[in-house]
Amino acid sequence: MKTYLMAGLLMLAVFMVPAESKTPIDSESGLNSMLSQQNADRLLLVAFSDNTINSIKNTASPTSYRQRGGYQSSTWSERITNQIADDYDLEKLAEWPMTEVGEHCVVYRVADKASVATTIERLSKDDRVEVVQGMNVFKTKTQSSSSNDPYFRLQANLQQMQISLAHGKATGRDIVIGMIDTGVDLNHPDLAGQVSNNQNFAEDISASFATDKHGTAVAGVMVARRDNSTGIMGVAPDAKLLALKACWPDKVDAMEAVCNSYTLALAVNTAIKAGVDVLNMSLTGPQDPLLTLLLKKALEKGIIVVAADTGSGNTSENFPASLKDVISVQSIKQPASTPGSLAESISAPGEKVLTTLPYGTYDFISGSSIAAAEVSGVVALLLELKPDLTVAEAHTILQKSKITSKEGLISGVNANVAVNSLCESAHCGHQFLSFAQFNPL
């Protein structure tokens, strides 16, 4: 079924080694034009089925497949791409095969004299086209604060989720978390060796990676090293991270960042191809047809997808958390929150959480992006104990791990209780508290 969507604004929900292969782009000027926020409202992302994707052996002649960086495009797709450009007076900026869903994707710019809305409407009726949408732009919002007593705050946060007790049974060993975000400080004392691989899908406009703040903060929450006599400890310290940069700082040294449908689609496709166990997407915004197609494929392959939930209740502006089977996570602003929307959602601490920042530093960060990262870490713990864990099972375990006090306050996901629910059948051999026995501090 064809799908189309006008360009909209998406936001990351945080108060938020260069790439091995080049981005599949026709020219540097085309890339900069495509990634520029000023040009986003005139860009279209078009996808059509290509049955030759994934059917050509690596030994195929280069005349039948044309290389674009680390990607390949069939001559048939090239022909359709050019025909569409000619038929609708479009300028082709980039094209690449979305290997995991068998679609060939193209970014076009609509001529200044043409109406974007009319062009989308016309393309949506073209039998060659599966998906046509505007180029959605993502932005980050961040909120940080300093403190003279960081470790006390940190210990309170860990105690709330009972991370230390959970680590007596699981630490995320042999689990790979895919993180789609900005770059990460790979040499941070608490992150050194934690990132197994990384790729930058916006390197021509943002070559930075290690100095990016938002991704470094989210990474620290999930996989910061433990027992290294330095800084903090992540929720899943023995898990490894696949860091995929699809967003770039809005300004030099800014926490705020931008990304779009194009870079995010490349990152999701790469995560699926890499076979990550968990996919963390600390972002939210309007529905995106191409990303929906890719995320459904990820879920179909057993990847557990975790996304930030703003808690606004507006499903049209809460993507990808609103997508069926994606684990959506809201932030608890206080140690315990009153029942309401949080009672039905997955929730985790998201207020002033101490985490990693570039140059070996730390700060307190708030937002549902942080809460989503915490839950991704807990899912990694569960997957260590049960590698074939389904998203439905994970969701049930996370829901049941939430603790409600005698006063009726909800304290959010408890990692220890969640892990213990699997230990009961796995015979972990550790003393643990049942759901009924545990009372929040």
Catalytic machinery residues: 181, 214, 369
CA distance 103 to 246: 20
- 8 A C-beta contact, residue 170 and residue 382: yes
SS3 319: strand
- 8 A C-beta contact, residue 243 and residue 181: yes
**What DSSP line would sit under 84-136, residue for residue?**
HHHHHTEEEEEEEEETTTTEEEEEEEE-TTS-HHHHHHHHHT-TT-SEEEE--
What is the chain's Cα-based Rg?
Answer: 22
| Structure token pair of residue 120 | 């989308």
| Structure token pair of residue 280 | 């963390």
Amino acid at 326: V
How many residues would you count in the chain?
Answer: 441
SS3 178: strand
Element (H, E) at 219: helix 213-223
CA distance 27 to 34: 10
Residue 296: how many other CB atoms lie within 10 Å: 16
